[in-house]
């Protein structure tokens, strides 16, 4: 399990959704009829959400106000499954909340309530930081310029983290990067890097100069600049560009947070920097293909990486499936040969899907079927059987296993619900010790692959 410690500005993204069919008689403004409101973590919360979706354990250090919004932030952190290592409520500080008025999916107004000033409790954080750090693999700093990452605190976090031999990655803010000196790497975009360095990045020579200046001036281990549709530029021993994945852009919101989170997760998993950047590029491509701040799951990343489309994206390996974030979803697992797909199978799998959110089907390999059913089986090869299952709307993932039983598969996945046929009543179900619940489903009378084969032979 990867453990990531994050530090930075927490806030609430508050959306007020409504409709408008008239202009106010008092002023030339829209009259919005409020339908509903939604709230989610913003700022550092976007990084946390991305990390949780990737499957990381996340510890959080931040400062909020001693107010109702601060209480809501703590509740949202708890709901997201993040560990609040150190959240200080600073008296007199206003917690950040950005309220957006949305009409017909268009933002018509934003109202910000927040304090934008340096925190006064840096020493309290520093005194506890080294002990907290010992439980984590890497540190990510997400600076939104609200004052949590003051120059003093930022420098001390970098010093302590690097002294411990761990990496510290930073999404910077503002034009003065001096407080980030000594970090492992920064993740500015081209516009941010241009403003910090004082010159525009227009071509390859400018990019090389900017990357070198960032590395030398701020004593970074690696120099990196995100280049929007052109991907990511890196200076290690030499300049290398990682091209972006071609994808329709709906909203760039949260792409930077996704890059930071994915880089941090991959590097903490001992992947190389280049491999980590390639995966971060894929994550960013997933995120910009969605509306609003969003996360990229391992399933989405792997799909884009392999450029699979349609039902093919559902056929994955166990290692790939383990990287698919459940995000609180109930996983239902069942298994079988599914040699000749028939109505009995359809009815059984539909019933299984209704028990949870995600249906995973373990499919016996050709060797496994032959061992269980005899030399004349399977009738259909495993690739065909997997494709038929994956084409069903209610099947989320298909994983082929080669053993006689799915014991190892169930042990690794630890699904919430294990489903078998009603003929298992009173019998020991393989893998039941690794699940929360076993459910038995009745078969449709007279519907079986064996009956179909016998009918054809007859």
* Averaged pLDDT score across all residues of the chain: 89
281 marked among binding-site residues? no
Whether 257 is catalytic is yes
pLDDT in tens, 411-427: 999 999 999 988 888 88
190 marked among binding-site residues? yes
Using CA atoms, how far apart are residues 59 and 80, in angstroms rounded to an integer? 12
Say if residues 168 and 161 touch (Cβ distance below 8 Å).
yes
447 marked among binding-site residues? no
240 marked among binding-site residues? no
In the prediction, which pLDDT does 240 show? 84
Is residue 261 scored above 90 in pLDDT? yes
Give mean pLDDT, residues 20-34. 93
Of all residues in the chain, the percent with pLDDT exceeding 90 is 66
In the prediction, which pLDDT does 252 show? 46
Using CA atoms, how far apart are residues 211 and 220, in angstroms rounded to an integer? 10
Q: State the first-to-last Cα distance of the chain, in angstroms, to the nearest integer.
A: 55
Give mean pLDDT, residues 101-107. 88
Is residue 339 scored above 80 in pLDDT? yes
In the prediction, which pLDDT does 194 show? 95
In the prediction, which pLDDT does 250 show? 41
Q: Which of 13, 143, 257, 416 is an active site residue?
A: 257
pLDDT in tens, 426-452: 888 999 999 999 999 987 777 777 788
In the prediction, which pLDDT does 249 show? 45
pLDDT in tens, 171-218: 999 999 999 999 999 999 999 999 999 999 988 899 999 999 999 999
**Of 60-64, 80-84, 90-94, 233-237, minimum mean pLDDT range:** 233-237
Binned at pLDDT 50, 70 and 90, residue 284 comes out as confident
Write down the domain spans for the chain. 3-305, 312-457
pLDDT in tens, 301-337: 877 776 655 566 788 888 778 876 666 789 999 999 9
């Amino acid at each position: 399990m990867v453990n990531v410690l994050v530090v930075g500005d927490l806030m609430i993204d508050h959306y007020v959704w409504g409709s408008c069919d008239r202009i106010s008689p008092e002023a030339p403004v829209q009259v919005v009829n409020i339908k509903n409101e939604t709230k989610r973590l913003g700022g550092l919360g976007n990084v946390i959400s991305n990390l949780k979706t990737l499957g990381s354990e996340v510890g959080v250090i931040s400062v909020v106000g001693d107010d109702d919004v601060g209480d809501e932030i703590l509740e949202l952190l708890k709901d997201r499954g993040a560990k609040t290592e150190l959240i200080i409520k600073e008296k007199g500080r206003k917690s950040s909340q950005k309220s957006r008025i949305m009409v017909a999916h268009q933002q018509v107004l934003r109202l910000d309530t927040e304090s934008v000033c340096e925190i006064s409790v840096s020493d309290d954080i520093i005194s506890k930081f080294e002990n907290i750090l010992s439980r984590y693999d890497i540190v990510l700093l997400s600076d939104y310029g609200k004052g949590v990452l003051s120059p003093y605190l930022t420098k001390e976090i970098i010093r302590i983290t690097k002294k411990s031999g761990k990496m510290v990655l930073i999404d910077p803010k503002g034009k003065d990067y001096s407080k980030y000196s000594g970090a492992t790497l920064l993740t500015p975009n081209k516009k941010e890097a241009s403003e910090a360095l004082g010159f525009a990045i227009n071509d390859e020579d400018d990019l090389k100069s900017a990357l070198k200046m960032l590395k030398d001036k701020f004593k970074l281990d690696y120099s990196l600049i995100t280049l929007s549709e052109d991907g990511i530029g890196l200076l290690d021993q030499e300049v290398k560009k990682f091209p972006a994945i071609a994808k329709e852009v709906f909203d760039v919101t949260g792409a930077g947070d996704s890059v930071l989170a994915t880089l941090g997760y991959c590097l903490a998993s001992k992947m190389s920097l280049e491999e980590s950047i390639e995966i971060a590029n894929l994550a960013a491509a997933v995120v910009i293909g969605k509306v609003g701040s969003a996360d990229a799951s391992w399933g989405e990343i792997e799909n884009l990486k392999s450029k699979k489309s349609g039902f093919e994206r559902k056929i994955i390996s166990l290692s790939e499936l383990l990287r698919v974030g459940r995000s609180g979803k109930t996983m239902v697992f069942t298994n079988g040969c599914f040699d000749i797909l028939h109505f009995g199978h359809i009815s059984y799998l539909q019933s299984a899907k209704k028990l949870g959110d995600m249906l995973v089907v373990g499919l016996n390999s050709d060797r496994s079927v032959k061992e269980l059913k005899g030399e004349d089986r399977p009738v259909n090869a495993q690739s065909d059987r997997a494709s038929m299952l994956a084409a069903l709307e209610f099947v989320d993932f298909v994983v082929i296993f080669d053993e006689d039983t799915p014991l190892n598969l169930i042990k690794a996945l630890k699904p919430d619900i294990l489903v078998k046929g009603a003929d298992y009543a009173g019998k020991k179900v393989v893998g039941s010790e690794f699940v929360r619940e076993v459910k038995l489903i009745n078969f449709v009378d007279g519907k079986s692959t064996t009956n179909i084969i016998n009918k054809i032979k007859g």
